[in-house]
Amino acid sequence: MSLQKIAFLGLGAMGYPMAGHLANKGYQVTIFNRTPDKAEKWLSEYTGDKADTPEDAVKNADIILTCVGNDNDVKEIYKKILSAAKSGAILIDHTTTSAIIARELYQKAKDKGMSFIDAPVSGGQAGAENGVLTVMAGGDQEAFDQALPVMQSYAKAVTLIGDAGQGQVLKMINQICFIGTLQGLSEALTLAKAEGIDAKTIVDVLQHGAAGSWQMVNRAETMMNNEFDFGFAVDWVRKDLAICFEEAKKLGVELPLAKQIDERYKALQERGYSSADTSVLIK
């Protein structure tokens, strides 16, 4: 195995375990996090180095991975990365952002002799912890091929979708699919509850047919038990949906169901459920 030097910036709910898988695979990992105590905690669990600034984290890295919050966070950290990374470095952003930002960063990296891959992930915190994420990538084939073994350290499926930005567009498609599924499941479970049919029966009978889904198998029982602490918060899905609506408007595409569900999430925020996971839609 090639021991590339890797920088990982952003140790949130997703980034923390992702960086840990890289360390466990034997990569030389240098971490950076805006909150230093999170970086110290990571170092107490994994082997690696800690940098005090993004510039120090990336200056010797062959592959630079980021997983931060939103478009503004990505813009801010990539100003520093692009100023300090070496020519030939491969930059991979696992944040869910707009396709516009991804395409801008691809060009800026290219101008500096670097490669940029937009690579949003699906699978949630549990997927990150278990190393079974799905990665949707946009960028150049050569850079993708070089970085593939690194991403496979924490993912079960890594696919190059197409040009820069198309990884982000597929992530938008993913978000629309799963919230639509959650809306249908929420209505179905509400009917089941009124009729007195329990969630386990629903899952056992329906999971292998046309109604079956990941959301049904993993969330039906917890939804009916009023358990909503599974990592991907309402605040975050609304951030992602805003990106979806921006892209759809640009392309002249209507997203009526997604907009309806977004309004329901907005109402849940107003009721104090901002930090609950997306399955709180049943409320």
State how far the alpha carbon of 108 is from the alpha carbons of 55, 75, 116, 130, 283, in Å.
Answer: 17, 11, 9, 33, 44
Q: What is the pLDDT of residue 3?
A: 56
Residue 118: Cβ within 10 Å count:
33
DSSP state letter for 86: P
- Beta 49-50 vs 63-66: how paired, if at all? unpaired
Here the CATH number for the domain that contains residue 245 is 1.10.1040.10
Helix residue spans in 46-165 (DSSP H): 54-58, 71-84, 99-111, 124-130, 141-151
Tokens read off for 31? 């971490």
Q: What is the pLDDT of residue 1?
A: 41
pLDDT digits 0-9 by tens, 204-215: 999 999 999 999
Q: Which domain holds residue 266?
A: 169-282
**Of 105, 140, 162, which residue sits at a domain end?**
162
The answer to whether 81 and 64 have CB atoms below 8 angstroms apart is yes
pLDDT digits 0-9 by tens, 14-43: 999 999 999 999 999 999 999 999 999 999
Q: What is the pLDDT of residue 232?
A: 86
- Global pTM reads 0.90
208 and 139 inside one domain: no
111 and 196 inside one domain: no
**Of 115, 133, 162, which residue sits at a domain end?**
162
137 and 196 inside one domain: no
State how far the alpha carbon of 111 is from the alpha carbons of 22, 83, 88, 127, 251, in Å.
Answer: 28, 12, 11, 34, 27
CA separation for the pair 183, 125 (Å, rounded): 21
- Which residue is associated with the tokens 């309402």? 234
CA separation for the pair 70, 60 (Å, rounded): 26
Phi, psi of 115 (to 5 degrees): -115, 145
127 and 178 inside one domain: no
Instruction: Calculate what percentage of the chain has a pLDDT beyond 90.
Output: 95
56 and 109 inside one domain: yes
Residues forming the active site:
171
What is the rounded (10 degree) CA torsion for 83, 84, 89, 90?
A: -60
**Of 102, 135, 162, which residue sits at a domain end?**
162
137 and 14 inside one domain: yes
CA separation for the pair 32, 42 (Å, rounded): 10
Residue type, position 161, single letter: I
15 and 132 inside one domain: yes
pLDDT digits 0-9 by tens, 97-131: 999 999 999 999 999 999 999 999 999 888 999 99
Task: Taking the CA atoms of 143, 145, 149 and 151 in sequence, report the sign of the dihedral they define.
Answer: positive
State how far the alpha carbon of 106 is from the alpha carbons of 54, 243, 249, in Å.
Answer: 19, 18, 23
138 and 221 inside one domain: no
- Per-run averaged pLDDT (10 residues), the chain, 283 residues: 82 96 97 96 97 97 96 96 97 96 98 98 92 98 97 98 97 96 97 96 96 95 95 91 94 97 98 97 98
- Which residue is associated with the tokens 């969630």? 199
